[in-house]
Amino acid sequence: MNIKKYFGTYKKSNTRYVKKLIDVFEKALQPYRTYDACFFRGSTEFRYLDYLKNCELNENVMEPEDVFNYVAPFFQNMPNWSNPGTMINVIPPVNLLSLTGSLYTNMFNPNFAEDHYSGRLLTAELEVAKYLSDLIGWDWKKSYGLFTFGGKGTNLYATKIALNQALPSNMKDGLNDKKCFMVTTATAHPCHYEVCQWLGIGSENCIDAPCNDLGVMDVEATEKIICENIEQGKVFLGFNINGCNTVEFAVDPIKKIYDLNQKITKKYGLKYQPHIHVDAVLGWVWLFFKDYDFYKNPLKFSKESLQKIKSLSQKISEIEYADSVGIDFHKTGFCPYTSSIFMIKDKNRYFSLNPAKNIPLEELVWGNFAPFQTSLELTRSASGALSALICLKSLGITGFREIIGNLFASTEMFRKLIGKNKRIELINADTEGLATLFIIKPDGYEHMSLQEILSLSPEQIDKVRHFNVEYGKFIQKLSHSGQINFNYTSSRSYTVGNTGIKIGAIKAYPLSVFFNKVVTKNIVNAIFKTIDLFISEHKTEVGEKEKHIVDDMVYKKR
């Protein structure tokens, strides 16, 4: 075989050859590649088992071009996150400098197990952790940061450290039938329960704290729950709370929770301090506005955008009272997957995972830095840390502010424009978040408000829900076929506020840096056309009893 075709040469740089291979790969992708659409081209009909039945490993080497042609079909239906119309999840377009740095670095295959295997690249992790500590308000010499496999990884580290604080003997002896519990927020990510399951604490012992209408923890009600469980003999590990969740952008009152934690510790004479982790994988980015001059407003944000940014910034600034924080650069950091970092205020808590390997920062020199001795992963990639550092340095504080400010301004316009359509009812018009939730109203419901719809019979509400689920499927079909250049999701199970009523909301979540005011107008016009088309193809029938109720409500409203 020709080794050079697959490994290049060790006598000179292989960069030019890699660039050539990228061009070959790009050519192979052309049958599926799209630019202005939300998805790559391809069939949505695919059965994994049928495909795998016909797979056999080849006996001989394949030519590079043949290899790329072989894997290119896998890119069918891949979302195009750069397209501003792709509004289906918290996944951003990638900073190309971060991508290039990550791609180029992987050519040398560094291993973040220790510095002997990664040169000085581990410095990137330390530097990112320093910048984040400064933003949070921690002493960077006393804190610690470690890139891990994702958001669940950051929560896993936090929960394990919480367990070590409360029950140091668990490292050797296990739980020994001791009942422990963590407190999370009812609107928090499901992985909070999953990590308790993984660690043997038990998902049932990850207890939901009650929330108010905004999805924020009710601290007084939470105190009662904690006291009840402690008095039943359970060991209180601490809190895993929201630092901006996905839909509501809810940030729990971190300072109040800190004060509660101090109160609980003193009241029950605990010999340890229960751990407070803030799951801020999405909301950390508001820290860039901590020192923004909201009075002078140098970036000229609109009054409405400015108010929301200021509110979120003030809420997330309380993160300094947390013991640890989870951050995803592959969300609001515009980096490639995966680039999650676990940050902890007191590195001594982190090194409870392996106390013997805690080397003071003052003594850390090249040759004795070996994170694998304490981290969950023995082997780690350099990609997360390096792509995060490149993104931070390339955009700086002002760059992040401009991007986030533009997303707010464009989202604000998006809501105002779609709200003018009589068929659309906004569900979260006053939200501080970027996600816009709304429903499409069937025939006979056009003039009804959300509250009027929610007051209808369960059968009528279910009809509205089904109508929106079908509309969501309609949009998916048009988007995957390339007939429209936008896409959003529909939720069959979305529940309005604290009503318990499932209404099947549409969720538009813009996170593309190209989502600006000009693009927004074009997307909204396209949305209106799809609504008209869907309604013309799916005429709804209103029964006599239903029609009477609807007409009566419209009359009263007038």
Q: Quick one: three-class SS letters along 425-485?
A: EECCCCCCCCCEEEEECCCCCCCCCHHHHHCCCHHHHHHHHHHHHHHHHHHHHHHHCCCCC
The pLDDT of residue 223 is: 98
Q: What is the mean pLDDT of residues 105-120?
A: 97
Instruction: Check whether 548 has a pLDDT greater than 60.
Output: no
Q: What is the dihedral of CA 403, 407, 409, 411, to 10 degrees?
A: 180
Decide: residue 17, CB within 10 A, 0-12 exposed, 13-18 middle, 19+ buried. Answer: middle
**Quick one: which of 285, 405, 287, 333 has its CA closest to 98?**
333
How large a percentage of the chain has pLDDT more than 90? 90
The pLDDT of residue 539 is: 67
The pLDDT of residue 359 is: 86
Q: What is the mean pLDDT of residues 52-74?
A: 98
Average pLDDT, the chain: 94
Structure tokens at 456: 């209808």
- Tell me the C-alpha to C-alpha distance, in Å, between residue 359 and each of 108, 353, 356, 483: 27, 13, 8, 58
Q: What is the mean pLDDT of residues 463-467?
A: 93
What is the per-residue pLDDT across 400-454, written as a single tens digit (0 to 9) for each? Answer: 999 999 999 999 999 999 999 999 999 999 899 999 999 999 999 999 999 999 9
Reported as type and span, the H/E element at residue 209 is strand 206-209
- Tell me the C-alpha to C-alpha distance, in Å, between residue 400 and each of 70, 114, 122, 405, 520: 39, 31, 24, 8, 20
The pLDDT of residue 289 is: 98
The pLDDT of residue 546 is: 44
CB 282 within 8 A of CB 332: yes
Q: What is the mean pLDDT of residues 22-46?
A: 96
Lowest mean pLDDT among 18-22, 154-158, 324-328, 444-448: 444-448
Q: What angle do CA 22, 33, 523 make, to 5 degrees?
A: 130
How large a percentage of the chain has pLDDT more than 70? 96
How many residues does the structure list for the chain? Answer: 558
Instruction: Check whether 186 has a pLDDT greater than 60.
Output: yes
Instruction: Report whether CATH 3.90.1150.170 matches the domain 403-557.
Output: yes
Q: pLDDT grade, residue 557 (50/70/90)?
A: very low
What is the per-residue pLDDT across 518-538, written as a single tens digit (0 to 9) for each? Answer: 999 999 999 999 999 999 987
Q: What is the mean pLDDT of residues 538-546?
A: 50
As a whole number of angstroms, the distance between CA 474 and CA 534 comes to: 7
Q: What is the mean pLDDT of residues 16-25?
A: 97
The pLDDT of residue 493 is: 82
Q: Where are the alpha helices (DSSP H) in 284-435?
A: 303-316, 347-350, 383-418
Q: Where are the domains of the chain?
A: 3-78, 137-356, 403-557
Q: At what angle do helices 517-537 and 458-480 cross, to 10 degrees?
A: 120
Lowest mean pLDDT among 82-86, 160-164, 230-234, 444-448: 444-448
What is the per-residue pLDDT across 244-278, written as a single tens digit (0 to 9) for each? Answer: 999 889 999 999 999 999 999 999 999 999 999 99
* 407: DSSP letter: H
Structure tokens at 410: 């464009």
The pLDDT of residue 543 is: 42
As a whole number of angstroms, the distance between CA 259 and CA 243 comes to: 17
CATH of span 137-356 = 3.40.640.10
As a whole number of angstroms, the distance between CA 92 and CA 111 comes to: 26
**Residues facing 398 on adjacent strands:** none
Q: What is the mean pLDDT of residues 54-80?
A: 98
